[in-house]
């Protein structure tokens, strides 16, 4: 498998989408911005991700953030690579208290449960579900809530929070 130059470059946040020549418009129906994708086999800190990089721009095609998923869970080795590259996280949170707010069963017998919860600050060893890095000019949000994959957003802090 040939790895293509990684399009995730923090210096492109705030630049025009044309700086990423293989970006393809995927959705421009949002009132806030547009979603682009790239095709290729990429690598983020040694972990491959294939064809699942989204690049979100504002309405003027200025890159606001990158969004991608990596398979598996974030292990200690990958977390250490993140801290080598971006410094220690600003804060990490784990689930503290979960409350089931409703349960239902549909006509096919599929059960659904809605839950709310509280989070509290933690260390990596406490199995965080959210990790945040606030950097100069951008921020990083990692959502570790799934057993199969975890999501990372890197971009303009104000744009990501205003979703």
pLDDT of 84 over the 80 cut: yes
Q: Taking the domains of the chain in order of start, what are their residue ranges?
A: 10-161
Give pLDDT, residue 2: 40
Which range has the worst mean pLDDT, 12-16, 39-43, 84-88, 140-144? 39-43
Query: Is the C-alpha dihedral spanning 97, 163, 133, 86 positive or negative?
Result: positive
Would you tell me how many other CB atoms lie within 10 Å of the CB of residue 138? 21
Would you tell me how many other CB atoms lie within 10 Å of the CB of residue 142? 23
Among 116, 114, 115, 146, which Cα is nearest to 130's?
146
Q: Which residues are paired to 132 by β-bridges?
A: 91, 141
């Amino acid at each position: 498998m040939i790895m293509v130059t990684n399009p995730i470059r923090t210096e492109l946040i705030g630049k025009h989408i044309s700086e990423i020549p293989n970006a393809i418009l995927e959705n421009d129906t949002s009132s806030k911005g547009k979603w682009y994708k790239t095709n290729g086999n990429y690598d983020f800190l040694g972990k491959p991700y294939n064809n699942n990089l989204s690049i979100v721009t504002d309405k003027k095609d200025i890159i606001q953030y990158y969004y991608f998923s990596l398979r598996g869970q974030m292990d200690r080795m990958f977390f250490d690579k993140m801290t080598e590259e971006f410094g220690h996280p600003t804060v990490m949170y784990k689930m503290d208290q979960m409350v089931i707010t409703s349960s239902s069963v549909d006509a096919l017998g599929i059960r659904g449960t809605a839950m709310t919860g509280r989070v509290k600050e933690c260390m990596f060893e406490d199995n965080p579900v959210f990790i945040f890095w606030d950097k100069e000019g951008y921020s990083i949000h990692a959502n570790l809530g799934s057993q199969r994959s975890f999501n990372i957003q890197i971009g303009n802090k104000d744009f990501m929070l205003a979703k």
